[in-house]
Amino acid sequence: MTNKRPKIALIGAGQIGGVMALLAAQKELGDIVLLDIPQAEGVAKGKALDIQESRPIDGYDAEITGTSDYADVAGADVVIVTAGVPRKPGMSRDDLVEINLRIIRDVAGNLKTHCPDAFVIVITNPLDAMVYAMQQVTGFPTHKVCGMAGVLDSARLRYFLADALDVSTSNVQAMVLGGHGDSMVPLLSTANVGGVPITTLIDEDRLDAIVARTRKAGGEIVGLLKTGSAFFSPAAAAIRMAESYLKDEKTLLPAAAWLDGEYDLRGFYFGAPTIIGAGGIEKVVEVPLSDTEREALHASAGAVQTLVEGIQL
């Protein structure tokens, strides 16, 4: 019997890492360790201390620490990886593959030694290729390694639909599947507002525009920020996944998951609806797709497979 809090390791204490630390602390998910490279250890320690000092205001007791030493994340229950470089205006996520692959290899080697039992959520882009590299280098079971993309892309789609209809975002259900890039597949056939099909509420032209905006939503933020990419919503999305795992919620959340025949696809990571609970990715759920959606999903899978085949592990 142990009454220890779960341990959450955040690898990368940059923009997303810092916001995740705050959100995880406010949700009282566990003790949090922010880890960065030695040159940025001060950033990790500074952000951790800054959040610790907000504890009396928010009223929780979780410990938040910063480090550059993997010994401090040993035995973590959940590891969320943002280590890497974000894109700048004009770049696609795929442009990051070379530089971020080197970083993911380094992180994965350390996680293999120090956090063999963790549930690992990768955020670093290009997401589908980086989560593949993480699993291959660590050798962790495929259901214990996944990528954060679908919760974020779906949240963007849901927000745009809710905004267009002027209804509560919590009323809008919609999912985005496929690769975390321009080929992603927003599903309209099952999207609904309180059970009412979205296709009966918004005309086709407007829906097409919302789908196009969803596909480019990350780029829209990069264009505005100019110095980096989105960080509040990616942080919220990954923490939502960690919460479902730590609380054994078994919530249906779209994630980059290892496919083993689902959707007639096999042997790589790809955005699909999953059940996240204490077992990690407990199930990949197959939802009914229209013919157009199925075609788009396979086209997206082709794009991801090409990128994955090109990486040297």
Residues in contact with ligand APR by CB under 6 A are 11-17, 36-37, 40, 82-87, 96, 100, 103, 106-107, 123-125, 228-229, 231, 234
Which of 114, 143, 180, 298 is labelled catalytic?
180
Are 172 and 193 in contact by the 8 Å Cβ rule? The answer is yes
- Closer CB to ligand APR, 48 or 161, in the complex: 48
Taking CB atoms within 8 Å and a gap of at least 24, the contacts of 225-232 are 226/88, 226/89, 227/88, 228/15, 228/86, 228/87, 228/88, 229/86, 229/87, 229/125, 230/152, 231/14, 231/15, 231/16, 231/18, 231/19, 232/19
Are 276 and 241 in contact by the 8 Å Cβ rule? The answer is yes
- Closer CB to ligand APR, 11 or 48, in the complex: 11
Which residue, among 307, 313, 258, 309, has the nearest Cα to 126 in the 3D structure?
A: 307
What is the C-alpha to C-alpha distance for residues 200 and 301, in angstroms, rounded to an integer? Answer: 29
**Whether residue 180 lies in the annotated active site:** yes
232: Cα separation from own chain's centroid: 12
* Count of all residues that appear for the chain in the document: 313
- Closer CB to ligand APR, 43 or 161, in the complex: 43
CB of 128 to ligand APR, least distance (A): 12
Name the closest residue to ligand APR (Cβ).
Answer: 14
CB of 138 to ligand APR, least distance (A): 15
List alpha helices for the chain, DSSP H.
Answer: 15-26, 41-52, 55-58, 97-114, 127-138, 150-165, 204-215, 217-225, 232-246, 291-309
CB of 20 to ligand APR, least distance (A): 9
- Closer CB to ligand APR, 151 or 275, in the complex: 151
CB of 226 to ligand APR, least distance (A): 13
Are 134 and 141 in contact by the 8 Å Cβ rule? The answer is no
- Closer CB to ligand APR, 35 or 296, in the complex: 35
- Closer CB to ligand APR, 37 or 287, in the complex: 37
Q: Among all residues, which ones are annotated catalytic?
A: 180
